[in-house]
Amino acid sequence: MNAILLISCPDRKGIVYTVTDFIFKNNGNILDADQHIDDQSNIFFMRLEWSLVDFGLGKDDIIPAFSAIAERFCMQWSIVFSDQTPNLAIYVSRHLHCLQDLLARYQSGQLRCHIPLIISNHKEAERIARLSDMDYFYVPITPDNKIEQEQRQTDILAKYRIDVIVLARYHQIFTGEFVARHENKMINIHHSFLPAFVGKKPYNQAYEKGVKLIGATSHYVTGQLDQGPIIEQDTVRISHRDALTDLVRKGEDLEKVVLGRAVRFHLERKVLVYNNKTVVFD
């Protein structure tokens, strides 16, 4: 079993020394370490993974023991253990390519999580859920039932003890309360190179504008539409020879890869959020 420590705090002398001293004195073996200092905000970030084989502290004693260090350096921090597998729920509307791609990655063992359920405001995904032995909840949204349906979703998520929500082309906007409850835990894929082409029909917007590349962006959902911290992006070249349907086809291939990477980064605890942007220790 391994432990993964994530830190962000004001930069000052001795942080790396103090943290590695803690590991070393307890006979830990560092497997992976990455750190970063943001020059402009002077914030220090660290991700440290070490083996608990022969470690001097029991699993329950690690967090209390580290707290003193954390306090001294004013750290925002977390420690998770590799035997904790998060539960992930996928939301989807009618476009199923991201859902299918995530499930293939999941089934091949690429994603370290459990995916027990799919939630949708449409029925197209039901067959895929059934073939994949997943529970499927049809939760249609109208302007009138939005609040109560969101409550229903909250109940479902609680029942399955969901830790992470992935919006795999889910085209409904949540209330601010729902979003706030899942801060930095709800990952969306937007089918443009954000901040360009926010909102509806980004491929149409890109086609109208005449851009020479299109993009896809995966980000944490915040209260402002398509404005949350970006986890991953990519672009692909298009030309005048590409009709709108070609943009969609090329873009969908991007969406799958970009969302797949973002979800993996999140699950492997490689993402730190600050100032509405991210450090990704890939």
Nearer to a copy of itself, 146 or 261 (CB): 261
Nearer to a copy of itself, 150 or 253 (CB): 253
Catalytic residue, candidates 226, 234, 246, 253: 226
Nearer to a copy of itself, 87 or 227 (CB): 227
Minimum CB distance to a copy of itself, residue 261 (Å): 9
* Distance, CA of 43 to CA of 20 (rounded, Å): 19
Q: Are 278 and 229 in contact (CB under 8 A)?
A: yes
Minimum CB distance to a copy of itself, residue 238 (Å): 10
Question: Tokens 């730190």 sit at which residue?
Answer: 272
Minimum CB distance to a copy of itself, residue 102 (Å): 11
The b-or-e profile of 17-55 (16+ CB within 10 A means b, else e) is: eebbebbeebebeeeebebbeeeeeebbbbbbbbbbeeb
Minimum CB distance to a copy of itself, residue 242 (Å): 9
Nearer to a copy of itself, 33 or 139 (CB): 33
> What count of residues does the chain have?
282
Compute how many other C-beta atoms are within 10 angstroms of the C-beta atom of residue 61. Answer: 12
Tokens of 280: 């990704």
Q: Based on the residue annotation, tell me whether 226 is a catalytic residue of this protein.
A: yes
Residues that bind a copy of itself (CB under 8 A): 13-14, 16-17, 20-21, 23-24, 27-40, 45, 96-97, 100-101, 104, 108, 110, 131, 193-197, 207-213, 215, 229-230, 232-235, 237, 239-241, 243-244, 249, 253, 257, 260, 275-280, 282
Report which of 196, 189, 227, 229 is spatially closest to residue 210, judged by C-alpha positions: 196
**Residues tagged active-site:** 226
